[in-house]
Structure formats: C-alpha cells, structure tokens
A and B are shown apart, each in its own frame.
Chain A
Amino acid sequence: MVWESFKLSILVVTVATVVIATVGLALGLLFAKGRFVGRELLASFFTLPLVLPPTVTGFFLIILFGRHGLIGEPIYRITGWTVVFTWQAAVIAAVVLALPLMVLSARAAIESVNPQYELASYTLGKSPLATFFRITLPLARRGILAGIVLSFTRALGEFGATFMLAGNIPGKTQTMPLAIYEAVISGDNKQAQVLALILTAVSVVAVYLTAKLTRGALRY
C-alpha cells in the first residue's frame, strides 16, 4: 500500500505541478498586468478553493466533471469515458486546490518587479513578450519558484476533493493522504506512520525552500 500510493502520488503531483506552474503563471501575469473590468472578481474566483472546505470544492468538481456534468457530459458523449474515479480525477482535484497558491505567488512576484525595468526594455526596442521573458520573468524568478514549491506541497497533501472526485481505490486513485486515512481506519498504525513521516519530511523541506526563496538575500 505504501509503495503503490507513493508511486501514484508522484505521478499525480508531477502532472498537477506542471499544469499548475503553467496555468498559474499565466493567470498571475493576467492579474498582475491585465487591465480589464472584473479583474479582482476573477482573481477572487481563482482564490476561492483556498478558503472553501475541500469537500465543497470536490462537490463542485463532481457537478462539473461527473458523467452528467457540464464538462463531463460532452466528454462522455464523445469518448465514452468519464474522468470520475480515475487517476486523472486526482490530478484535477490537486490542480484546482493548489492553483490559488501559485496564482497568488506569481502575481505578487510579477507585481514586485519595478516597472521601470520593463519600460527601459521597451525603449530599447523590445516587445512586451520579449520583455516578459528576458526581464520580468528572471526578476520574479524567486517568487515564482516559491509558488511552484508551495503548490507542489499542497497538491501532494490534497485529500478532500480527491476523495470526492477520484474516490479511494487502492492502486488506482489512492494517493498517500488517502492511504493514511485507510491505514488508520483499518488499524494499520505502522503503515500510517511511514506515510505520515514521508509527507511530513517533504513538507518540512518545501517550507524551508520557500522561506529560503522568499526571505533569502535578494540576489538575481
């Protein structure tokens, strides 16, 4: 159980982190630089999973992705496949729950870059896109990396929404946090201890890394 849930967690969290890093960076940029009506409203929407009970978010995800859901139904009609109770569902839950941490960190990091550098780049003939990749992104690097580490850790610990959308199927959707739950209710304290130790160790390293990245001396 330990090894299987460990492998599954690594798979789910790796895929989720790649999605979170890309989507979260794009949204962070949109909220930091975009000038449009309803920006803060949209930003709040993406922060919501941070404060909602994960089971509530999970419930909304079932409404969206279930076989009769808004997104789930067309997918089922075209492919005959439904995401609920698959490892991909665990990825969706992890992405939705951990994304706010990435969006908030990326936005703050991008906003902390002195806009003079971007203006200087424009006067030197560089397009906004070139400026983003050569000036803004390198200068916001530490905050963005901190966001990736934080959301990775949050994704690894995801329990409630995963339980709702992906279920608790050993070897298929049972990630480490779910395996701990299973171990405890079946009285297998040894397994629970091993899993808890692994998750705690990863979290300690992640929190330390985040602190180093955000509080460390400002080096570029």
Chain B
Amino acid sequence: MAESGITILFGPSGSGKTTTLRAITGIIKPDDGHIEVGDRTFFDSQTGVNISIQDRRVGYVFQDYALFPHLTAEQNVSYGIKERTEAKRRERAREVLALFKVEHVRQRYPQNMSGGEQQRIALARALASDPSVVLLDEPLSAVDVETRSGLLDEVAAAQARFRIPFLYVTHNTIEALRLGSQVVVLDKGRVKATGLPTEIFKLSEVNNV
C-alpha cells in the first residue's frame, strides 16, 4: 500500500473489496497470507502473527457509517480518542468536528443528521482515534449525487492534512480518478492490475472491467 496518498481498491461487486478491508481491520482472519501496513505486520499465517483489531489502529469508515445511534456526534467522535480526561477528549473531538465543518451538529444524534453530515462524522470519528491507516468502504454510496462532489474534496483534504495512507473502496470510475494516487484493481479476490488511475482506466476500457 502507498505510504501516503489515497489508494483506490477498485472492482465490481463480489470482487473481494470489502473482504480485503475486513481482513486488514482484523474483523476476519484470512486462511493464509500476509498483511503489512507501513513497517508493521498485522497478520502472517507462516509465523502465526495476528494482531488484535484494537491494536491495529485501523480507522474504518463503514459503508453505512455505523455511527453509534445512542451517542451524539461529539460523543461518537470522542469515543475513540485516547486522552486520559473527559475534558481533553471533548476538546480534541471539537477540534476534529471543526475541521470537518460539522460543529453545528455536535449535540445531534445520527438519525437527525443528513447523509453528508453522517459521512463527515464517520470520517472524523475514524481520524480522531489516531489511526495508522484509514479504510473507507464505498463511503459515498449512501449520499446523493449533489453532496458527493463536495465530500470527495473533503476526503482528499483530510488525507492531505493527516498524512496517513487511505485505502478507498469504490466501483465508481469518477471517484477513483478524482481521488486516487494509485489504483489496485481486484477481480474474483485477486489483484488484476496496479497503477496510476490514468493508466488503469485506459486499460480497463480495453479489458471491460
């Protein structure tokens, strides 16, 4: 995976994109293989290494966000912050909320937010927990087309600011072209191609992915 920038995991549904994310997170355990992020080994079937989900520090933005419905936006964001005092956690949560321009929904519960706001809170929650990598599972599939464009810019801006690798799952060519610094094409659970977005999508026209 690219050290920085946004890597796009691209492929049709059923190609193993979500499974790949879940294996990196540690939600599922692969039968065999090797998972490495930066210089840290998360999983290795040969040596028996399998770091727990909690210790992997993987920020995960779920497809439907999975915001905790019984917690406010601010409580959602502060949930994963590793500060000792409540006051410090709240302070940090407000900083991150401000960064994503969603301070106004601070006291709101997820069911009282728009799709775009929920998406921002989900990204803010993942980033506030100080992850070593952020995984996004088709994060824009639940928002309408008009909101989408603005959110794409924010995902790119967030990556540039936090300077940690993002792995972004999508089957949308426009999203891949606008965000990707690198594209990995998956098909039937195997990597079919890796390269720059411009190269990949010229190729794929030929191959009909």
Which residues of A approach B to under 8 Å, CB–CB? Answer: 114, 116-117, 119-127, 134-135, 138-139, 220
Measured CB to CB, the nearest residue on chain A to B53 is A122
Q: Can you list 14 contacts pairing A with B, beta carbon distance less than 8 Å?
A: A114-B66, A117-B66, A119-B53, A119-B60, A120-B66, A122-B26, A123-B56, A123-B80, A124-B125, A124-B129, A125-B80, A126-B54, A127-B54, A220-B69
Which residues of A are found within 8 Å of B56, using beta-carbon distances? 123
Judge whether A125 and B54 touch: CB under 8 Å. Answer: yes
Measured CB to CB, the nearest residue on chain A to B59 is A123
Closest 6 CB pairs of A and B: A124-B80, A220-B70, A116-B66, A122-B53, A120-B66, A123-B60
| Distance between Cα atoms of A134 and B25 in the complex (Å) | 21
Which residues of A are found within 8 Å of B69, using beta-carbon distances? 117, 139, 220
| Chain B nearest CB, measured from A18 CB (Å) | 25
Is B201 an interface residue when CB atoms closer than 8 A count as contact?
no
A120 partner, pick from B57, B60, B70, B109, beta carbons under 8 A: B60
| Distance between Cα atoms of A139 and B53 in the complex (Å) | 22
Is B100 an interface residue when CB atoms closer than 8 A count as contact?
no
A119 partner, pick from B27, B59, B125, beta carbons under 8 A: B27
Measured CB to CB, the nearest residue on chain B to A116 is B66
Most buried by B among A119, A121, A124, A125: A124
Judge whether A139 and B70 touch: CB under 8 Å. Answer: yes
Q: Which residues of B13-53 have CB atoms within 8 Å of chain A's CB atoms?
A: 25-27, 53
Which residues of B are found within 8 Å of A125, using beta-carbon distances? 54, 57, 80, 82, 129
Q: Which residues of B161-203 have CB atoms within 8 Å of chain A's CB atoms?
A: none
| Chain B nearest CB, measured from A102 CB (Å) | 22
Which residues of B are found within 8 Å of A123, using beta-carbon distances? 25, 53, 56, 58-60, 80, 126, 129
Q: A120-B62, A123-B60, A135-B68 are in contact. Are A220 and B53 (CB under 8 A)?
A: no
Is B154 an interface residue when CB atoms closer than 8 A count as contact?
no
The secondary structure that dominates the A interface is helix
Classify chain B's interface size: 20 to 34
| Chain B nearest CB, measured from A201 CB (Å) | 33
Q: A125-B80, A126-B80, A220-B109 are in contact. List 12 more A-B contacts (CB 8 A).
A: A116-B62, A116-B64, A119-B53, A122-B26, A123-B25, A123-B59, A123-B80, A124-B79, A125-B129, A138-B70, A139-B69, A139-B70
Which residues of A are found within 8 Å of B25, using beta-carbon distances? 119, 123
| Chain B nearest CB, measured from A118 CB (Å) | 9
| Chain A nearest CB, measured from B57 CB (Å) | 7
| Chain A nearest CB, measured from B108 CB (Å) | 13
| Distance between Cα atoms of A120 and B26 in the complex (Å) | 12
| Distance between Cα atoms of A115 and B54 in the complex (Å) | 16
| Distance between Cα atoms of A135 and B70 in the complex (Å) | 8
| Distance between Cα atoms of A202 and B56 in the complex (Å) | 52
| Distance between Cα atoms of A117 and B60 in the complex (Å) | 12
Which residues of A are found within 8 Å of B125, using beta-carbon distances? 124
Which residues of A are found within 8 Å of B70, using beta-carbon distances? 138-139, 220
Q: A125-B54, A125-B57, A125-B82 are in contact. Are A119 and B109 (CB under 8 A)?
A: no
Which residues of A are found within 8 Å of B58, using beta-carbon distances? 123
Judge whether B59 and A121 touch: CB under 8 Å. Answer: no
| Distance between Cα atoms of A178 and B60 in the complex (Å) | 58
* Interface mask (B65-87 → A, CB under 8 Å = 1, otherwise 0): 01011100000000110100000
Measured CB to CB, the nearest residue on chain A to B64 is A116
| Chain B nearest CB, measured from A82 CB (Å) | 47
Judge whether A119 and B54 touch: CB under 8 Å. Answer: no
| Distance between Cα atoms of A220 and B69 in the complex (Å) | 7
| Chain A nearest CB, measured from B137 CB (Å) | 11
| Distance between Cα atoms of A114 and B60 in the complex (Å) | 16
Measured CB to CB, the nearest residue on chain A to B129 is A124
Which residues of A are found within 8 Å of B54, using beta-carbon distances? 122, 125-127
| Chain A nearest CB, measured from B149 CB (Å) | 26
Measured CB to CB, the nearest residue on chain A to B62 is A116
